[in-house]
A and B are shown apart, each in its own frame.
Chain A
Amino acid sequence: MPDGPPGSERLRAPERVMCLENLGRMFPTRLSFLRVLTRRLHAAAARVDRSVWSVDAEGYGHAVYVVEAGRETYSLVAVTQALADEDRSDRVIATSWDAAFVLYDGVPDTAETRRIVASVPLQEAGRFTERDLVLSRANKSVRFFSHVVERLRNGQQPDPELLVQTGYLMRTTAVYGNGKFGIAAWERIADRPLLAGSFMAEMLAVWLIRGFTHDLAEHLGGAAIDANLKRHLGVGNATGLGMAPFLVSHPMLIHRWFSAREEALERACALPDLEGNTLEEARDLARRVAAHLTEWTVGDPAAMAEIEVLKDAWHDLSETHFEGGSASVDRRHLLAAAPGATEELVAAFLIELAGGEVDGLSAAFAADEAAKLDPTMSCAALLALAQRDWDWAVGMDWETPEAAAVFWYVSEEKLEPRLGSRVSDAGAELETPLDVARRVAALVADLPESDLSLAEFLLAHPQHRDAARRVQTAAALPFSEIRDNLIGGHVRPTDLLRAKLAMFGASKFDPKSDLWTRITLVQGAPLAGEIQSARALDWWLPSMEAR
């Protein structure tokens, strides 16, 4: 039986980390992309200037924000328009929004600003240029937005309780990057210090959009929002199935993300016991986590029950290790003692405490290579790898309807991923290939235990090429695959969304069904004027109470 890749035995087992249940419990960490972005902005002593504010008394018009970070300059062009209540929808099939945005490469001149202002409300129906790096749109959280404006007009500040409940003035419904609708391909910005890595341009756009939402509310309210309240106003987001297939179609990059996270956890656990100042710092952070969990309320009873379990477990853990007078806490023991539902929160907590010991690991996010097949491998060697790493898939009874109860597909309407029931929905013959486990099982069923090269085997079985490549890739890069059946009746796409959104840096996950979730981004993040302060470095799991 072959061994795993060198060094992988130090990390948590990939089958434990990468199963859907665990992915659905993930939290942002200091390696999350938004945290990486704010550290880079801080390091570059970035400055944001609102160079254009052409917004009327009703709140409609456009604005331009210019951010300078070292030698790089980008601009957010924001456009707002009137939108009838009946047209306001977060669904992907919507065609108009309260606000639309482009992150622009450099500073747009008058003609470029005019072009963007005219085209950006069209979103997918428009066509953009390589100077445009990110395309996005957002809708108001109408009741809360109105509340904030009314309060400001009356010389009052927003109700903190309501602010905690909602967390944002607007929510984005899509943030497009990497070449979509004509905007720049990722390679064009891949070597820029601020934007190198995964989704950094998108994160910069979101951070700037958040500042615009603050300015719009203050413009309409005629007064400033208190900075402590304003900092807690992030950007909401409604995320559906659109981003789920990415985790399957980019195995090399996914390995980079999750192996860096696991390496960070291992380094965090290997640090000396928490004592003295480090114990005090951990105690403060544990209290912030408790406050954050208290402020995290959602409408779905099952999701709320899970948060309550987490809250209770965190309380017990804090009492035992941080509030009970312990003089020393073994970090690895803290992780090992965490009950199942709490483990990912403790992992993120330990990574946060590790600080600069782990921040450099985010450099690994800067590449996205294609997986390669080694056709010289023998069928027997591939079979051994499959039996070692994919036993859970190979041993599954694929004849039962439950094993393949659902299928993923692309809808003609918006060219977006959707999920259907194999029993009741049409289109299963056009299934998107997210059935990786089933295809690996099919490969193993046909694979002879012989010296025949994979190249020769695939002449007769070309349909197995993807599964063979995935088995090889997962053997070398163990965090490259979701270790679960994505077409099973039990699948909850929100587990996939949670893992990816946590990598982005999202918090306050608020699942509305198994298919989509609301989240909050950049809540607690530094405001534009604070990016050069220490706040830029310390905003994990923020809370109003602990601010």
Chain B
Amino acid sequence: MIRTLPEIEATVLRAGRGSGVPVAQAEDIARAARWLAAAGQMRGLDEVARCLALPRGSARPTRWVASYVFAPGDPALMLPAAIDLALTGADVRLRGMPRALTGALIACAPALEGRAVRAAWSGRDATLSLGPRGREPHLSDRSAQVDLPVWAALTALAAQTYVPASDASRDGAGAGDDS
């Protein structure tokens, strides 16, 4: 199915919130999802849907002695936290995190004093470091073809933020009629 980039971003934002992700992280993931669609990396949207469907966990790294190591747990909370830490110059390692979503979150993260987070992948693991921002792929402004099951999963999560209609909710809608 065809969906516009704003529709993808808005739906992922609601899906994130519906799955219990705090609003800032949900916004970051929604922007990353839009970036993935704009970059033509549609399989990344599948990663997004699967991450959001996981039970919510912690943002904390699995261990932090010489370096911060984030092993599979709750990527929706861990990846923004890991990127934040990498921006401080900390030694950050990722184990088994979704690669496309990681790349998109990094691409959408800020560069501080000209230095951006970069990921060096080795198999399913990555080391985050600071350096010049990598070359960005061509980003389209066109609508994207989204797999139906992915969209269904996202909209089902998004629906968890909706309050069923009632007379009270209709009264709260505003824009009524008058004579």
Interface residues of A (CB under 8 A from B): 89-93, 130, 173, 178-180, 182-188, 238-242, 299, 370, 372-376, 409-416, 418-420, 424-427, 430, 432-433, 453-456, 458-460, 462-463, 465-466, 468-469, 493, 512-513, 515-516
Contacts and interface: CB of A to CB of B under 8 A. Distances in A.
By Cβ-Cβ distance, the 4 closest A-B pairs, closest first, are A240-B174, A179-B6, A240-B175, A427-B163
Contacts of A468: 24
Contacts of B58: 462
Given A179-B6, A462-B81, A466-B22, A455 B141 contact: no
Given A184-B4, A468-B24, 20 more contacts: A91-B176, A182-B143, A186-B6, A376-B112, A409-B162, A409-B163, A418-B169, A418-B173, A418-B174, A420-B163, A425-B172, A426-B163, A432-B161, A456-B88, A459-B59, A459-B81, A462-B22, A462-B59, A512-B176, A513-B176
Contact of A375 (B84, B174, B178): B84
Interface string B144-179: 000000000000000111111110111011111110
B176 A185 contact: no
A374 B88 CA distance: 9
A179 B169 contact: no
22 contacts: A130-B4, A179-B4, A185-B4, A375-B85, A376-B112, A409-B162, A411-B163, A411-B173, A415-B162, A419-B174, A420-B172, A455-B90, A456-B85, A456-B88, A459-B81, A460-B59, A460-B60, A462-B25, A465-B80, A466-B23, A512-B176, A512-B178
Interface in B76-100: 77, 80-81, 84-85, 87-90
A547 B89 CA distance: 64
A410 B174 contact: no
Contacts of B159: 412
B166 A426 contact: yes
Contacts, number: 183
Given A91-B173, A463-B22, A512-B178, A430 B163 contact: yes
Nearest to B7: A179
A484 B163 CA distance: 25
B31 interface: yes
B133 interface: no
Contacts of A92: 173-175
B85 A433 contact: no
B5 A185 contact: yes
B8 to A, nearest CB: 9
Interface centre among B3, B81, B112 (most CB of A within 10 A): B81
Interface string B17-31: 100001111010001
Nearest to A189: B141
B2 interface: yes
Interface centre among B7, B80, B143, B175 (most CB of A within 10 A): B175
Contact of B163 (A185, A412, A493): A412
A459 B61 contact: yes
B176 A90 contact: yes
Contacts of B24: 373, 465-466, 468-469
A178 B10 CA distance: 11
Given A184-B4, A375-B88, A376-B88, A516 B162 contact: no
Nearest to B164: A412
A375 B6 contact: no
B120 interface: no
A187 B139 CA distance: 11
Contact of A420 (B2, B112, B168, B177): B168
A466 B87 CA distance: 17
Contacts of B143: 130, 179, 182, 185
Contact of B168 (A89, A91, A178, A425): A425
Contacts of A427: 163-164, 169
A463 to B, nearest CB: 5
Contact of A374 (B5, B112, B141, B178): B112
Given A92-B173, A370-B31, A374-B110, A433 B166 contact: no
Nearest to B64: A459
A185 B2 contact: no
Nearest to A240: B174
A17 B120 CA distance: 47
A179 B5 contact: yes
Contacts of A91: 170, 173, 175-177
B43 interface: no
Contact of A516 (B61, B89, B166, B175): B175
Nearest to A468: B24
A416 B23 CA distance: 18
A76 to B, nearest CB: 21
A450 to B, nearest CB: 15
Given A413-B165, A456-B85, A180 B6 contact: yes
Contacts of A454: 84
Nearest to A427: B163
Contacts of A469: 24
A239 B173 CA distance: 10
Contacts of A299: 178
A194 B6 CA distance: 22
B88 A241 contact: no
A299 B23 CA distance: 40
A195 B89 CA distance: 42
B166 to A, nearest CB: 7
A456 B7 CA distance: 33
A453 B85 CA distance: 9
Interface centre among B58, B89, B159, B170 (most CB of A within 10 A): B170
B81 A90 contact: no
Contacts of B112: 374, 376
A338 to B, nearest CB: 31
